Amino acid sequence: MKRFTFKSLLQSSGWNDNVTVVVDENGRISELLENTDDKGEIIQGYAIPGFQNAHSHAFQYAMAGRAEQHQNPDDSDDFWGWRETMYQLALSITPEDLYSIAKDLYSEMLRNGYTQVAEFHYVHHQPDGRPYPNLAEMGEALLKASRDTGIKITLIPIFYQKGGFGKAPNDRQRRFISENVEDYRKLLDATIEVAEKYPLANVAIGIHSMRGVDPQDIVKVAKEFPQDLPFHIHIAEQLKEIEDSIAFLGKRPVEWMLENVAMNHRFHLVHASHLTEKETEGIAKSGANVVLCPSTEGNLGDGIFPLINFQKLGGKWSIGTDSHIGLNPMEELRILDYGQRLISHKRNIMIGNGFNDSGRYAIHQATLAGRKAMNNFEETYFKVGADFDACVIAAEHPTLANEDKSNLASRIVYSSDSSMVKCVFVRGRLMVVV
């Protein structure tokens, strides 16, 4: 047994001072004690739930900043131009490269307070497009990086089949492609099998996008594949994607999904930048979650998700770092909030679910919906029997010194940076000490 005592620990009900967390040999919380004499290791910090990074493309960490040179200022550049740079990188990396990139990335995620990552993984095959003998070769490189850094991982092998609505894949996508549902099933099964060797890993189901998989195959995967796994999909990220969907299906992407797939709490719609009011309401009513990646969405010029209306309808959202142009969860939350403030000219955006404190509300949403993205439905932040995963903020930092508890969560979310992360715990193991 190990004991760690914090200046204060955040639960959904508020801050609890001088809490001692007793952790068993498996990294699970065996006791939560207040004002006990047997304090164990005393940590001058504020413990909040470890952040869940609900959307990651690890290999893209290697291209952060590489798509920012624009030869002609009069030419437009957008997501589709950025994608060509991404293809070049995807065609060049080996399993060893991917392990190295992911190891560096996951170390930085831990340093910033993330304790689990949902890896939306679609670089599956050899550079010539042929499958590796081990179908999950590239995925296992990510699992090894998770193991060796100590971050938890939900590996999502992605079904990627098309080059656009009704179009064959282009040659630059050859490492991504599963030609049909059965090929994807084999890939998923291989991933599940290999993930069983890694204690910090589990697996989810993923469709690249509406444009990337035949619509009827999306329905088939949603209906026939395991119903106890999270289901992730990029959707409605780009205006061109909306236009192409209308031309091909006669429906907008989210509109089509709502009419053809029985979405519920296990569905995680990534980006969903461009929605009608009806689509926004439909997602919220279905119980599906939205995964927002504000730094990447801003970098790519995607658009701004209709968060205000979604929240009013009880919608649930989490955060991810996607292409990893940014890695600070506090920054993701701030960009998300400030974007809404700029278009609404209001400041009371991050409120709801019984919270009128923006910082506490942001942490609450990102924690609970983020956990669901990883197939964890626990709503108590820290609970006896659960793994002890925590991000600890330095209490002695001048920004937080003598801060009143009523403002503390918002001070952390709106005024902190990664230098204020004192340490991080994953499954009871002290991973990062700054």
Question: Domain check: are 97 and 8 in the same one?
Answer: no
Question: Domain check: are 238 and 279 in the same one?
Answer: yes
Residue 352 is classified by DSSP as B
Domain count, the chain: 2
**pLDDT at residue 198, rounded to an integer:** 98
pLDDT < 70 positions in the chain? 66-67, 69-71, 73-77, 80, 434
Question: Domain check: are 310 and 338 in the same one?
Answer: yes
Question: Domain check: are 260 and 406 in the same one?
Answer: no
Question: Domain check: are 207 and 139 in the same one?
Answer: yes
Question: Domain check: are 44 and 126 in the same one?
Answer: no
Q: Catalytic pick from 55, 124, 208, 271? A: 271
**pLDDT at residue 17, rounded to an integer:** 95
Residue 28, domain CATH: 2.30.40.10
322 is a catalytic site residue? yes
Residue 58, domain CATH: 3.20.20.140
Question: Domain check: are 328 and 400 in the same one?
Answer: no
Question: Domain check: are 65 and 211 in the same one?
Answer: yes
Contacting residues for 227 by C-beta, under 8 A, at least 6 apart: 266
State the distance between the two ends of the chain, measured CA to CA, in whole angstroms: 24
Question: Domain check: are 59 and 43 in the same one?
Answer: no
Domain that holds residue 401: 2-49+380-433
Domain-terminating residue out of 326, 348, 373: 373
**pLDDT at residue 70, rounded to an integer:** 64
Domain-terminating residue out of 373, 391, 412: 373
Distance set, CA 99 to CA 1, 127, 143, 147, 160 (Å): 33, 16, 8, 11, 22
Question: Domain check: are 276 and 403 in the same one?
Answer: no
pLDDT tens for residues 347-384?
A: 999 988 889 999 999 999 999 999 999 999 999 999 99
37 is a catalytic site residue? no
Q: Catalytic pick from 322, 357, 387, 389? A: 322
Domain-terminating residue out of 341, 373, 405: 373
Report how far residue 408's alpha carbon sits from residue 427's, in angstroms, rounded to the nearest whole number: 25
**pLDDT at residue 137, rounded to an integer:** 98
Question: Domain check: are 311 and 419 in the same one?
Answer: no
Question: Domain check: are 90 and 43 in the same one?
Answer: no
